[in-house]
Structure 1
Amino acid sequence: MGPLGGITILDLTTVLMGPYATQILADMGANVVKVESPEGDIIRHIGPGRSPGMGGMFLNANRGKRSIVINMKKPEGREALLRLARQSNAIVYNVRPQAMARLGLEYETFAAINPKIVYVGVFGYGQSGPYAARPAYDDLIQGASTIPSLVAAAGDGTPRYVPITMADRVVGLMAVNAILGGLMHQLRTGIGQRIDVPMFESMTDFVLVDHLGGLTYDPPLDQGGYARLLSKYRRPYMTSDGYICVLIYNDKQWRSFFESIGQPEYLLQPRFANHAARHKHIDEIYEEVGRIFISRTTSEWRDLLERADIPVMPMHTLETIMDDPHLNAVGFFKTIDHPVEGRIRQMQVPSNWSITQPQAGGPAPTLGEHGREILREGGFSAEEIEGLGQRGAVVFTGPQ
């Protein structure tokens, strides 16, 4: 069952941020009902796939869920959703609140029929500021929360986005925290609430924990920014035959490093005296250490650094990470049979629990795959279900 067994989540989210959050809840055992429009979640069509609407990115953000297609623009569709909400613990959406209001799906509507409902919105901006009604995407939020400017400062001066949907994933994790907090309050009091998780504010908090620095103080002590993270030499070290990822951080590690390479005289230099001194000279230190790493092969460095107990990891590519011996030993990747897509690779839940171990749920659903099943569980009669289908309020696919 998992730790969230018995909890029902109505998932109105699309793309990545919301689906990533609700997939984590599904892994924990929640009954996640993915409510899709007749067109389906747009991410179904991103990336390679063996059949239409089942792209790899969709498979990796929607496992363990059941799908129902409800046309919310039809009054009967909206009423069907509200009826399902009566038996749900939480509803999660990631369109702008103004769009939910236009559909008559604001918090007050759900609270009137289910006072226990935890109503969670994951969208661009807090609703008390001037950006409230603006659309938001990962690239926009990365830019607004200073990430490209930090990349520019640490590199060649060109601002770039991080090549993962970082804002979507980070805010998705924050949404999981918010949902679980709301459910805990619901369990203690029997009362629901509205929870907003805005991307801009969430990512600004995430970034500035590292980089607010001297701007923490009034008046400021500096212009902000964590010098070690912003060093243009903070990158995988080039070896004589490739690259390697190393972090020599504390006094013990620096001592072990220079002793292991037979150059303990470096430790006599004032810039290596302590953490504060190294931080002050971080650019020149990283640059000089980079020159040292070119002198040996990647394999030689891994052997030396592991013996010296200095943190080291390979610089994987998307191909080589599939063969990582640690990930293989812990069973991180698992090949399963998807009923539509055939053999697919699936990542496992990365945390370990002594009793209620979460598990990667069943395969990601085809569009509307579980419509009739979900409605039957919601108390709809066979006649009502067929009527919804005939009026186009709910779209059914495949035999059910």
Structure 2
Amino acid sequence: MTLTLDRDYLKHTLLALLNTPSPTGMTDAVVQLVCQHLEQLGIEYELTRRGAIRANLPGQVHSPDRAIAAHLDTLGAMVKQLKPNGRLEVVSVGTWPARSAEGARVTLYRDHGDPLRGTLLPLKASGHVYGKAVDQQPASWPNLELRLDQRSHSLADLQALGIHPGDRLTVDPNPEFLDNGFWVSRFLDDKAGVAAVLTAAKAIVESQQPLPMDCHLLFTISEEVGVGASHILHGDVAELLAVDNGTIAPGQNTSEYGVTIAMQDSSGPFDWYLTQRLIGLCQRHGIEHSRDVFRFYRSDAAAAVEAGNDIRAGLICFALDGSHGHERTHADSVAAVASLLAHYMLSGPILERDKDAMGPLSDLPEDPTHWEDPEERH
């Protein structure tokens, strides 16, 4: 089978996603952007009440089917209270370190009026004033404040601007795509994953190769707060593959220029048979890959299983250095994820017995390490 990945499409789609703010709870604009891409590809889709997307690539078998999930929501912040000095206390939306937020340029959205610009700063921001105390203060969200680019020096000034607790902030991503393939930006998690899913879908549509089974592309909107794919599946889904970031750090085995197959995260091990299939696909098609275990990490797959879905769940990752901060990946890694996704869509079901929710003992499969061909055996 011949598949052609459009790497220009991958790059430009990711850039458009990054430049569309989408902190959890404020995702409508990026949902509309992804729906436009799906329409251009001729892929049908539907939305949940809150705006999560389920797109449908029909296959030769309609039940059971499989799903691939990536999340559209990113980290963000929210006004906690108005301060007497004319600045704003903020809290994070999603889990990210305050140290990574220091110096971020942000946009504040009010109930009425144009958005306002500002900067997140530590309480002691000037060495000329505080000397060494600047480096000694703890990095924490209570030690951050938002300095608005307005004539705002008192509580009354903030009130006159129409600012309230709960007003939302979006953080500038500051993307920079280098000619050597390194892509640097906030919120590559998980917009690089979304771009990879769309690029894989484009390759499938253009190849005109039939899928063995229906495949749903799920774009969730609340993964960063732990909900994710818990509310978008239906009972026919037997396999769920999440796409998210793999951490580049000492003690990790993430592939910086390939795809990483997660064997376990903080929610427990991923499905043995599904991970063996993914490894087999990489081996067969020459996709650079590694395996890794993540201790402080969960994904859309965990949310789906915890919601009570009886599914085979897996996770594949693009490389990410400095996750939930000033992030960096490489074009080759994101392209490797897209390639594996496309080949996974074209592969048959993991196990024929998955067509039934319940079955006898005799249906239990054999040890997948004994499979002669992990791609084809089912």
TM-score relative to the length of structure 2: 0.24
Structure in which a larger fraction of residues adopt helix: 1
Larger Rg: 1
Structure in which a larger fraction of residues adopt strand: 2
TM-score relative to the length of structure 1: 0.24
